[in-house]
């Protein structure tokens, strides 16, 4: 089970939302790149970045911050949030992003998914299905789609999509446990490779998700890592005294972005 730390960027800062609510935001670090360095120091093999501003506007609002992370780290980076055109996807690939995540556009413009798959292939293009009670949400989780999550998954599969990042919105950022039932239902019906997301709060959640292998083979974790709900994190930090940035994730100790 590959664990992928998430970095959500809003207004140029590293934040986390609760259940996708932009009014329930917590800022963890002023510089997302510093956060990316922390996760890499803790041996992350991949990072998941989301431009939350772009998810609402459709414009690459935090492109500069994402570019800096890609140029700084030596691991694959996947990016989602507001990618609704070929030009947006190309802009990310041109700076070295490993793969893009298509969310709202998979519902509103499936032709884009088809075109991206033709240009870059299924390893470089994945679809993000963020669902609440089985209904996909789009445009920053502000609107519901006129189809079920499984229907959307099967539609994407027919186009050539091989992987979906599935988020149970009701669990996201709540630290109340992963949306196991929703993920299991989707994976078994869509028969796609699934990266699970939303609600992971403990090692028990990871072991539970592992029972869904091989369909579910990876998991994106956000708030649980930031809030240090995994005891092993404290051991990691003891070995990081040589780091140039603060690794205490309390908001009181966060430092401004270091100069480039």
Listed in sequence order, the DSSP H helices in 42-148 are 52-57, 63-72, 86-94, 104-108, 110-120
How far apart (Å, rounded) are the C-alpha atoms in residues 221 and 112? 28
> What is the C-alpha to C-alpha distance for residues 206 and 183, in angstroms, rounded to an integer?
13
- Upper half-sphere CA count for residue 47 (Cβ side, 13 Å): 26
φ and ψ at 22, to 5 degrees?
Answer: -65, -15
Q: Is 81 in contact with 51 (CB distance < 8 Å)?
A: yes
97 contact partners, CB below 8 Å, separation of at least 6: 66, 70, 77, 78, 79
d(CA 8, CA 81): 9
- C-alpha 108/C-alpha 57 separation (Å) is 14
Element of type H or E holding 234: helix 232-238
Question: Catalytic residue numbers?
Answer: 8, 130
Whole-angstrom distance, CA of residue 179 vs CA of residue 11 = 29
- Closest of 26, 37, 9 to residue 240, by C-alpha: 37
**Residues for the chain: how many in total?**
260
Structure tokens at 180: 């196991």
């Amino acid at each position: 089970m590959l664990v992928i730390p998430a970095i959500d960027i809003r207004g140029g800062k590293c934040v986390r939302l609760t259940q996708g609510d932009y009014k329930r935001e917590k800022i963890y670090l002023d510089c997302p790149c510093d956060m990316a360095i922390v996760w890499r120091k803790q041996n992350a093999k991949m990072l998941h970045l989301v431009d939350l501003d772009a998810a609402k506007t459709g414009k690459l609002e935090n492109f500069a911050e994402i570019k800096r992370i890609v140029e700084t780290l030596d691991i694959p980076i996947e990016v989602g949030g507001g990618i609704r055109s070929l030009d947006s996807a190309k802009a990310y690939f041109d700076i070295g992003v490993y793969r893009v995540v298509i969310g709202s556009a998979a519902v509103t413009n499936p032709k884009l998914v088809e075109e991206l798959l033709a240009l870059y292939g299924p390893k470089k293009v994945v679809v993000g299905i963020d669902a609440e009670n089985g209904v996909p949400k789009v445009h920053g989780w502000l609107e519901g789609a006129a189809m079920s999550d499984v229907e959307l998954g099967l539609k994407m599969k027919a186009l050539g999509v091989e992987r979906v990042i599935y988020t149970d919105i009701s669990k996201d950022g709540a630290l109340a446990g992963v949306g196991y039932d929703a993920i299991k239902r989707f994976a078994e019906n869509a028969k796609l490779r699934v990266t699970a997301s939303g609600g992971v709060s403990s090692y028990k959640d990871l072991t539970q998700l592992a029972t869904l292998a091989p369909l579910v083979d990876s998991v994106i974790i956000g708030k649980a890592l930031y809030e240090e709900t995994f005891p092993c994190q404290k051991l990691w930090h003891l070995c990081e005294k040589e780091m140039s940035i603060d690794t205490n994730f309390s908001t009181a100790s966060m430092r401004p972005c270091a100069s480039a």
